[in-house]
A and B are shown apart, each in its own frame.
Chain A
Amino acid sequence: MSLLDPKFLARLERLELRVGRLVAGDRPGDVASLRRGAGSSFRGHRGYVPGDDIRSIDWNAFVRLDELVVKEFDAEVTPRVTILIDASPSMATAGGVKAATARKLAAALGWIALARHGSVRVIPFPGTARDAAFSGRSGAAGFLRHLETLPETGGDGLMDVLSAAYGGRRHPGITLLLSDFWAADRFESALGFLRRRGERVEALHLWIAAEASPSLDGPVVLTDAETGRTLRVVMTPALLARHRKAVEDHFEDVARTARAFGANHHRLDAEAAVESLVLDTLRARAVVG
């Protein structure tokens, strides 16, 4: 478990993924949802209507009020979390900072779910690498080892991956999409697919400052990390300025697209510590709590 510090893992056990109203689990668990259900968290009373389970009638209230009321509780579910982690070559640029941060971030969030007896599936994309599923605390160790050995993948098969991974599933869950979102067009169809599936999508957009403002000067041969295509240019202040603006525009497009498809977009500095990202940034944005 070299991905994350044990102390950090211990702190993560006190957190839970905020699943929200739209999320339900395959089976009851101990993560409170916004739905009414057979949980342990008392939600309130309402009048009895025929058809209610008579086991939910609050008889003490009937004695005091001479009126039949039933008790309601928040449904507690086991979160079903799908981690779509970008393992394309673009994540390996700039020393692989983004890829490393994506694995740590996936490990932390998956660890939170597993600690709550949830289930976690790790699906690297694009490519044909097989996904892996883990559930409960017993699967946590295997989950972390799997992330450590996650291979770099390539290709354009994100939709194929999603179709295979989500085929036949009836209950929506949480999808954590960790990527640098450079190939924006490939994500539009994926986000649309996940929206139709009712998934709650948290788009975790990893970036580094050097992507916007590289320290380059003079003649440079640029090579695309994923396609290998090259471009000979001469770095000038003007070109760098225009590139910086183009990157900012791209990031804005990514955020706009994500919101358009009902996903929560979070732009995260990949060079920041994962502890800070989880405990500060994602907690502040109610991804974890």
Chain B
Amino acid sequence: MTPEAIVFEDPNLLRLLWGLPFLLLLVLLKRKAAAVVVPWLPVWEKAIGESTRAPTPLRWIVSVLVKALLIAAAVAAWAHPMKERGARLQVSTLIVVDRSAGLSSKHATGTLADATAAAAEGATARARTDGPVRTIAWSPDGRGPAGATFGADVPRDVAWVARTASVDPEMRTLLVTPFLPTEDPPKGVHVVASVPGPLAEVGGIRSVVPVVGGWRVRTDGPARTLALFDGDRRIVSVAVATNGETTVSVDGTPLARPRLVLEPPDAWPDDDTAFLDGVIPSALKVLVVARGPTPALDAALAASGRVAAEGSGRVSPDALPVSLDPWDLTCFVGGRVPDALPPGDYAAFSADLPAWAGRMGPPAPDSARSVSPAFGGRDAFDPREWTSEVSRGWTPPDGADARVVGGRGVMFGKVTDRGRRLHVFSVPPTADGGSLVRLAAFPVMIRGVLAEVPRLGVRSDALTRRVGAPAGAPGDPRPVLSDADGRPVDLRQGADGEWLLPGTPGHYRLDGRMVGVSVLDAPGRPVALPARSSPWPDPPPTSERTSLRWVCLLVMLALLFLDACLGELWPPR
């Protein structure tokens, strides 16, 4: 119980009382006695003498003050005074018990779910002392992105549960969970993180990078085992160190639904699994067509890490195979690029070009004048130092991508025609071709050529995608999304109109391609359990209010009576 206090329902009205002193001063100071000549004063004396309430100036002042108090009492009554007495009344409690999937992880004496249930029982017993209690279990399954299971949205979800529970809107809502949110819960929701004891360390897959013959996977958390599955079939398992990085290698067997799984699962199993695209990253087979050696080009190809030693090769232009399909990239050094190229990726160094690829000029001195913004901001790889005495000055067709332009034409660029992508260099990749092979930008150029190779096919560097990530740029046509079994899946749109991937991890078909959607680095995810319970939320203090307007009315009546006794308002007896 708190002390009693007088409060006003509309205290702003009391500001009117500030005008009362001015009114009083105005009446008292401005009201001078009027001088009146009467024919016979004794008759006035007789009238005054007939009353014991002789109207003297003092009595008049008292009467004015009484009137002022009367006004003040009326204003106070208007403001509706109330006597407030603090109290802690009975309050309804809705206890929401966290039953989300994360509670299946091991705890000190069982699972987190067991500990949470025990804590919920204790909370229920304690809440019964404050009033009626209703307990419901809550799981976020099917609501919102799974990655936010234990994120900041939990209290808001609980508030939603409380509203939909159709119970007393003034109730107190207690969420019993072992996890503390990172944000303050909404009004009325109290988080009771009352699961004591240690919890096993948690971790997950943080990134997956394709490498030749497999993936380089970075994980955090304790040391566990990283397994590769294709559907439910285990392919390979490797051990991962604490907060470590490991490589998972495969033998090139096509995988339909590959996924990487950290074992055993911890309290947050969602980020223990990375769903991968339905392909295997493999090394590229490169064919070099040249009459002489090209050591600089060979070194740049090897340094990229994308070129397979087996399957790649070198031939003379005279021995050019009839079919180039077995090679992912064919590099023509000098000579002439055949007119009839099948769809694929090609590179030409100081070679004569087919008509669809533009025209090469005669060898002549030239130097780089302008560079594509693709190199912007990377001074170390800036090809402006590129000079050559034998640059042929490529005149590309319309629509070509000119990346380095010299004084006599394009020195490095790209042209695409009916599935054929041709990267054109105006000089040979040898020391005779000028400074190109000595530039730090040269390996970068080669790596960029190789990086584009898979994009014409079904393979992709994006081995897995984050849940809720954009599926395309704003303005792109709506992609066709279905689950791994072909059932259509609705696409959500982001704030900028872009199409977003689903919030649930798994395998999906995006425009016919099998893609993986995973939880990686879920933002807002708690990393530790509270060491102790949060303070028990006492019922919100309430108060009992009793109207005191009747007191004001009584005071007004008393003042009226007093004023009447002063002879102002009462008729003569």
CB within 8 Å of B: which residues of A?
Answer: 90-91, 93-94, 180, 182-183, 211, 214, 216, 218-227, 229, 231-239, 241-243, 245-247, 250
Contact = CB atoms under 8 A, between A and B. Distances in A.
B39 A218 contact: no
B1 interface: no
Q: Which of A214, A223, A238, A246 has the most CB of B within 10 A?
A: A238
B110 interface: no
A243 B43 contact: yes
Contacts of B572: 237-238, 241-242, 245
> SS class of chain A's interface: helix, strand, loop or mixed?
mixed
14 contacts: A90-B40, A93-B38, A93-B39, A214-B36, A214-B38, A218-B60, A220-B36, A222-B37, A222-B44, A225-B38, A225-B40, A239-B51, A241-B571, A246-B50
Nearest to A212: B43
Interface in B546-571: 567-571
9 residue pairs, one from A and one from B, having the closest CB atoms: A90-B39, A224-B41, A182-B40, A243-B47, A241-B572, A219-B33, A234-B60, A234-B55, A242-B47
Interface residues of B, number: 32
Nearest to B50: A242
A238 B571 contact: yes
A223 B35 contact: yes
A238 B59 CA distance: 13
B379 interface: no
B37 A246 contact: no
Interface in B499-545: none
B528 to A, nearest CB: 81
A232 B36 CA distance: 10
Contact of B55 (A180, A229, A235, A250): A235
A238 B36 contact: no
Contacts of A232: 33, 56-57
B233 interface: no
A236 to B, nearest CB: 5
Given A234-B60, A239-B48, A247 B43 contact: yes
Given A218-B31, A233-B55, A236-B568, A182 B39 contact: yes
B29 to A, nearest CB: 12
Interface in B122-144: none
A220 B55 CA distance: 11
Given A218-B34, A221-B36, A237-B569, 12 more contacts: A94-B39, A214-B36, A220-B34, A221-B34, A222-B44, A223-B36, A225-B38, A233-B54, A234-B55, A235-B55, A238-B55, A242-B51
Nearest to A91: B39
Contacts of B46: 246
Interface in B22-75: 31-41, 43-48, 50-51, 53-57, 59-60
B371 to A, nearest CB: 99
A153 to B, nearest CB: 15
A123 to B, nearest CB: 21
A124 to B, nearest CB: 17
Contacts of A183: 40
Contacts of A220: 33-36
B31 to A, nearest CB: 6
B41 A227 contact: yes
Contacts of B53: 238
Contacts of A218: 31, 33-34, 60
B34 A219 contact: yes
Nearest to A227: B41
Nearest to A247: B43
A245 B48 CA distance: 12
A241 B35 CA distance: 20
B36 A236 contact: no
A236 B46 CA distance: 15
A238 B45 CA distance: 14
Contacts of A211: 38-39
Contact of B38 (A91, A222, A250): A222
B54 to A, nearest CB: 8
Contact of B40 (A221, A224, A245): A224
A226 B569 CA distance: 33
Nearest to B54: A233
B39 A225 contact: yes
Contacts of B48: 231, 233, 239, 242
Nearest to B59: A234
Nearest to A250: B43
Contacts of B45: 231
B38 A239 contact: no
A231 B44 contact: yes
A223 B31 contact: no
B41 A239 contact: no
A151 to B, nearest CB: 18
B563 to A, nearest CB: 11
Contacts of A235: 55
Contacts of A226: 39-40
B34 A224 contact: no
A175 B290 CA distance: 165
A91 B31 CA distance: 29
Contacts of B31: 218-219
B39 A180 contact: yes
Nearest to A223: B37
A89 to B, nearest CB: 8
Contacts of B567: 236, 238-239
A216 B36 contact: yes
Most chain A beta-carbon contacts within 10 A, residue among B34, B40, B55: B40
Contacts of B36: 214, 216, 220-223
B61 to A, nearest CB: 9
Contacts of A243: 43-44, 47
B43 A222 contact: no
Nearest to B566: A236
A223 B38 contact: yes
Nearest to A238: B567
B59 A222 contact: no
Contacts of B40: 90, 182-183, 224-226
A237 B63 CA distance: 13
B34 to A, nearest CB: 5
A101 B60 CA distance: 38
Given A218-B34, A223-B35, A246-B50, A231 B41 contact: yes
